[in-house]
Structure 1
Amino acid sequence: MGKELKRLKRRKSSQGKLDDIWEHSNSSLIVHYSCESFYDRDDGKTPRVTSIAVRNLASGQTESFSIHKVAEQQKLPFDEIDENYDELEREMLGEYFEFVRSHQHFNWVHWNMRDINYGFAALEHRFRVLGGEPIIIAEDRKFDLARAMVSIYGLGYIGHPRLQKLIEKNKITDKGFLSGKEEADAFEQKDYIKLHQSTLRKADILANIFERTADGSIKTNSSWFEQYGVHPKILVEIVRDHWLWSLVVMVAIGIGLISRAADLF
């Protein structure tokens, strides 16, 4: 199968999955979280988690889990969070995984949550490190919106950083939104409330992007051909890869030659 046909197949698969999630939005969730910076880490430890937001795609109802909320529940002064971080993080992740337990059959839509640096695996690992036993979400229940956007609209559909550029191009409200660098700075400054607000805002933004992609109103830099998965090269690949189309082309060429010869005589 040719390159363009493979891309068309990926596009149809991603669009189909996205449409299915949108159709079952009552049982679909947007998830995002904030954590310690995962860059320039020399100690080999995974980043500590600060807050998690899970938003129902249909209702907009959002569950949140955060360090400062746990501290408040335990009557712990915020200036003592740092020295009790492991205990608070374990409690927060425990609450999150209890939520996961009762929502394993839901679809989980995320943005680049793919590995041990930043992703479901990172959350699971942190909980194990702190002595907990995580609940694992099945792979077929996870949907990476970031990758789906590339599959549907093409690699150059928006500039980098893609999430921020999408927000700008579509004029999506970003009050409280922090970039990766700003989140790292907020963590260092122990501004956990600001991190939590950013996590909630990003969950809201991802839901907005998902909805616009599902209804076709999202604005990107893709050309018409890229947006609809149509490319002249596809016709060439269809002819090359499928014998029936090749036969049709050969017959058409033969008819054309016979017709031309008849005109000459």
Structure 2
Amino acid sequence: MSFVENQRVAQQRFSLLHQKKDQVILIHYSCESFYDSEDGRTPRITSIACRNLGSAQTRSFSIHQVSELPKFSGVDAWDNYDNIEKELLDQFFAYVQEHVAHALWVHWNMRDINYGFQAIEHRYKVLGGTPTEIPDERKYDLARMFVARYGKRYADHPRLESIMKINNITDIGFLSGKDEAYAFKDRKFIALHQSTLRKVDVISSLLEAEISGHLKTNAKWWDVNGGSARLVWEKYIWTPAGKAVSALLIILALVEWYNPDAKHDFATWIKNIADNNTENSSK
């Protein structure tokens, strides 16, 4: 699709999310760095946070919380990681099962097997679970929607941190991807959980700002309203009104070429044509 069509679809999606706020679940998760995996293993999950846009109620699932359950008492979380992670994902997919039929899932770049819904599902399968899959049509990637809405220059890379600064959103507890990788190696599971909660809160704030019309970006007017002569043509000229204006200009040009002495008096030219037609028909 063209930029204009992508922008139109993004606006329709934002409108839908606004209308169905109580059904919108914002989701984010933290995991082991997938760049450090030497054996190709799917990164281990450390925490997942889900927040309802309408009520702001948040459910979270994390390694440090699960490790406090009686069944894991007295056991080092690192030594028993797979079992604890399996329990975390049992709880998460039970939550998904409760909401999958009606929820709209808003995320930030959770798109593939490296980092995304597929990665969580695959990790659960590896641990012996059967995941409840969320249909793709119910997933809304806010990162891509912002690009579609405002163009690629709406924020610097990394865009999430950049758009936070532009909108004066606090970064307390927020860890970058690099810092999360270090936190996992250092077994700082509480810090990872806090970062996941902060990020799902940030996603909520950004979506709220967009649907209320208060989101600030680095996008220029030209970025949002075209960006090239071709897009301006598509957005403004190649429309019913634009076609009508273009046709009128062509007619006026033909008038000038056909009768240069008419001095651009289009009405007179039309009247003369009508009179000539009447005279010819009466003969």
Normalised by the length of structure 1, the TM-score is 0.90
Helix, strand or coil at the partner of 2:153? coil
Indicate how the Cα distance of structure 1 residues 50 and 239 shifts in structure 2: closer, same or farther if over 3 A, else same: same
Indicate how the Cα distance of structure 1 residues 256 and 133 shifts in structure 2: closer, same or farther if over 3 A, else same: farther
Which residue number in structure 1 is paired with residue 218 of structure 2?
221
Which residue number in structure 1 is paired with residue 276 of structure 2?
none
Which residue number in structure 2 is paired with residue 34 of structure 1?
30
1:187 aligns with 2:169: no
Which residue number in structure 1 is paired with residue 10 of structure 2?
14
Indicate how the Cα distance of structure 1 residues 231 and 249 shifts in structure 2: closer, same or farther if over 3 A, else same: farther
Which residue number in structure 2 is paired with residue 63 of structure 1?
59
1:140 aligns with 2:143: no
Cα shift at 1:250? 2.5
Which residue number in structure 2 is paired with residue 127 of structure 1?
124
Q: CA separation in 2, counterparts of 1:79 and 1:176?
A: 27
Q: Which amino acid aligns with 2:132?
A: I
| Superposed CA offset, 1:51-77 (max 9, x none) | 000000011100000111111013646
Cα shift at 1:262? 2.6
Helix, strand or coil at the partner of 2:37? coil
Cα shift at 1:259? 6.2
Q: Which amino acid aligns with 2:199?
A: K
Contact residue 107 and residue 141 of structure 2 kept, 8 A? yes
Q: Choose 20-29 or 73-82, whichever is displaced more.
A: 73-82
Which residue number in structure 2 is paired with residue 208 of structure 1?
205
Q: Percent identity?
A: 44
**Mapping 1:79-118, distance limit 5 Å:** 80-104=76-100, 105-118=102-115
Q: CA separation in 2, counterparts of 1:181 and 1:230?
A: 33
Contact residue 53 and residue 63 of structure 1 kept, 8 A? yes
Contact residue 71 and residue 78 of structure 1 kept, 8 A? no
**Structure 1: runs of 5+ lacking an equivalent:** none
Cα shift at 1:258? 4.6
Contact residue 159 and residue 165 of structure 1 kept, 8 A? yes
Normalised by the length of structure 2, the TM-score is 0.85
| Superposed CA offset, 1:189-217 (max 9, x none) | 00000000000000000000011111121
Indicate how the Cα distance of structure 1 residues 107 and 250 shifts in structure 2: closer, same or farther if over 3 A, else same: same
Cα shift at 1:38? 1.1
Cα shift at 1:249? 4.3
Q: Which amino acid aligns with 1:166?
A: I
**Mapping 1:147-186, distance limit 5 Å:** 147-186=144-183
Q: CA separation in 2, counterparts of 1:259 and 1:123?
A: 73
Q: RCO higher in 1 or 2 (8 Å CA, sep ≥ 6)?
A: 1
Q: CA separation in 1, counterparts of 2:237 and 2:54?
A: 43
Cα shift at 1:125? 0.2
Q: How many residues align?
A: 260
- Bigger CA radius of gyration: 2
Helix, strand or coil at the partner of 2:198? helix
**C-alpha RMSD of matched pairs (Å):** 2.3
Contact residue 11 and residue 229 of structure 1 kept, 8 A? no
